[in-house]
Amino acid sequence: MSNRDAGTGVQSVDRAISVLEILARQGEAGVSEVATEIEVHKSTAFRLLNALETRGLVEQAEDRGKYRLGFGIVRLAGAVSGGMDVTRHSRPVCERLARELGETVNIAVGEAYYAVNLDQVRGPSAVTAHNWVGRLTPLHATSSGKVLLAYRSEKRRAELVARGMERFTQHTVTTHRQLTDHLSAVHERGYAVAAEEYEIGLNAIAAPIRGHDGKVFAAVSASGPAYRLTETTMHEQAPALMHGADEISRRLGYLG
């Protein structure tokens, strides 16, 4: 392979990764939007999306001309979690929690500056079909993210602060002091809450999941509309969610 061919190949890989990051950030995007974001012709963006679709990494949203992340991403994300099939071991627990709490239950792991949602179970009270699986969500603005961030090193937390914490709503944590207070609360309570910090009208609570080595590597969360899953309700539901997180940890080999 010539140096020119190698350079072209690397550029294609870089563009493909950029496409995945765009879809992770925006949820859905059309060919024109992707082309504009990565500064290429529409035909090039289409070829990239088609190649990713062939591998199952993206899929087309029904009849809307939009693309979103596919379940191939979930398979890759699952491989990152230390070889432990957290989705398989947690599924029965998540199904029970969804029934008990009535809300949508998710499993997430950390990936760089984001939380990656690997699995989701909708509770009987869920009013929308919003699918978080495969989505990257910000660590500082979500309950799962705050759990994962709380158990990272001071260095990693400092890196997040240095990058800047994007404001999504008027309730989003955006300062070092606020973040420190929220993460301290995670350690004190054993769970994290996010009250309309990522989306207005959406509240969530999350608890840590530990691997066989005792390290927190995942989080289980319950989310729902703020009018039903109020801050008071979240604190009331915390014991059940923490119990579920502990059960998942034991299923993964944690003996603590």
The pLDDT tens digits of the residues spanning 152-192 come to 888 888 887 788 889 999 999 999 899 999 999 999 999 99
108: nearest Cα among 56, 147, 71: 147
The span from the CA of 57 to the CA of 50, in Å, is 10
Query: Is the entire prediction scored with pTM above 0.85?
Result: no
Q: Over 50: is that where the pLDDT of 4 sits?
A: no
Domain boundaries, the chain: 3-69, 75-251
What fold does the segment set 3-69 form as a domain? Arc Repressor Mutant, subunit A (1.10.10)
Tens of pLDDT along 54-91? 888 888 876 567 888 887 776 666 555 444 578 888 99
Q: Over 50: is that where the pLDDT of 146 sits?
A: yes
For domain 75-251, give the CATH number: 3.30.450.40
